[in-house]
Amino acid sequence: MPIQPDHLKYCESHEWVSSPDSATGIATIGISAFAVAQLNDIVFMALPAVGTHLNAGQEFGEVESVKAVSPMYSPVSGEVIEVHSDLVDHLDRLNVDPYEQGWIIKVKISDPSEFDRLMNYDAYQKMCAEHG
């Protein structure tokens, strides 16, 4: 099933997370199209190692553009079970499709209730319009 931006949850720091799979508890995390547009020309991305344990709000990597270096924060707590390592060599995928081709990590969520505390698509769009 394709990842649709309006089905995701968002952080104020512009990361998104998909609903955890009901069978596995695994969710996909990335950065929003708004974040990609603000960063503009992305030139580097640092990613965590598989097996890294993250807490919600914890920095898990960084993305660097010609304008700035920005940390990326985990929207949820859990263990990194997969890293989109191919992305670092094909950062243009973030510009094309930050939700499908540009996913960053997959996490086995340890506290599913954290997902419900994040912004839905409408609230995120409103925040972006106010700060954009």
In a domain, 19, yes or no: yes
Please give the order of strands across the beta sheet that includes 105-109: 9-10, 15-17, 26-31, 105-109, 78-83, 53-54
Question: 75-127, pLDDT tens digit by residue?
Answer: 999 999 999 999 999 999 998 999 999 999 999 999 999 988 999 999 999 99
In a domain, 2, yes or no: no
In a domain, 1, yes or no: no
Entry field: residues in the chain: 132
DSSP designation for 119: B
Average pLDDT over the chain reads 94
**pLDDT at 40 exceeding the cut of 90:** no
β-bridge mates for residue 108, sequence order: 26, 79
In a domain, 26, yes or no: yes
**46 or 41, which is more confident?**
46
Q: What's the pLDDT at 132? A: 61
Number of domains in the chain: 1
pTM of the shown model: 0.95
Residues 6+ apart with CB under 8 A from 98: 30, 31, 32, 33, 35, 36
Which phi and psi angles does 123 have, rounded to 5°? -65, -40
Give the rounded percent of residues in the chain with a pLDDT score beyond 90: 84
By the 8 A CB rule, do 45 and 88 touch? yes
pLDDT band at 3 (very low <50, low <70, confident <90, very high): confident
CATH value at residue 18? 2.40.50.100
**pLDDT at 67 exceeding the cut of 90:** no
In a domain, 81, yes or no: yes
Tokens of 102: 């540009």
Element (H, E) at 62: strand 59-65
Query: Which residue range forms the structural domain that includes residue 102?
Result: 7-131
Tokens of 11: 């952080």
